[in-house]
Structure 1
Amino acid sequence: MSNTPHELSADFPELADKISALKTSNAHFARQMEEYHELNREVHRAETDVEPMDDLAQAELRKKRMALKDALYQMLIATA
């Protein structure tokens, strides 16, 4: 388990410009990005015991984060 936040632009540096452009031009993408960042922060706080939670709850949050990350990635590559 990593205690490093999973920022989308750090995970996909080659798509950083596209992430920035879509955040300003696509309201759905922007909402999904905000939801991703909220989940990401929640996972990070749990992993670092700032806001502890049981392992099952952490696993569920990670699954939601990964599904959202996959959806965001699909939007990014669809606009290539």
Structure 2
Amino acid sequence: MLGEDHSLANEFPDYLDTIKNLVSNDPEFAKETKRYNALDKEIRVLELQGGPIEDEAMVQLKLQRAELKDALYQRLQVEQDS
């Protein structure tokens, strides 16, 4: 679906407290979360504008978002399990 919100809070509602804790206490996680949110916003804006970029460029943006989301999720799991 175009323009869909893929924010961490939306993607991982069960981890909201962990996300807030890590953003407050882990500068690297906070930095990567900020990067993820900016990338997600960029993709949503492009989708809502009809994707005024090449298809391959959009695929690369989405791949970057997926890889970053996976890394952040792994960090959330480690934190929640400890």
**What secondary structure does 2:49 align onto?**
coil
Does residue 35 of structure 2 align to residue 35 of structure 1? yes
Which ranges in structure 2 are unaligned for 5 or more consecutive residues?
none
Distance 1:50 1:30, change over 3 A: farther
Report sequence identity in percent: 34
TM-score by length of structure 1 reads 0.92
**What secondary structure does 1:22 align onto?**
helix
With 51-60 and 28-37 compared, the bigger mean Cα shift is at 51-60
Residues 3, 47 of structure 1: 8 Å contact kept: yes
TM-score by length of structure 2 reads 0.90
Partner of 2:14: 14
Does residue 66 of structure 2 align to residue 72 of structure 1? no
- Following superposition, which runs of at least 4 residues in structure 1 exceed 6 angstroms of deviation? none
Render the CA deviation track for 1:28-79: whole Å, top value 9, x for unaligned: 0000000001110111111111772121111000000000000000010011
Q: RCO (CA 8 Å, sep 6+): is it higher in 1 or 2?
A: 2
Q: How many residues align?
A: 80
Residues 2, 48 of structure 2: 8 Å contact kept: no
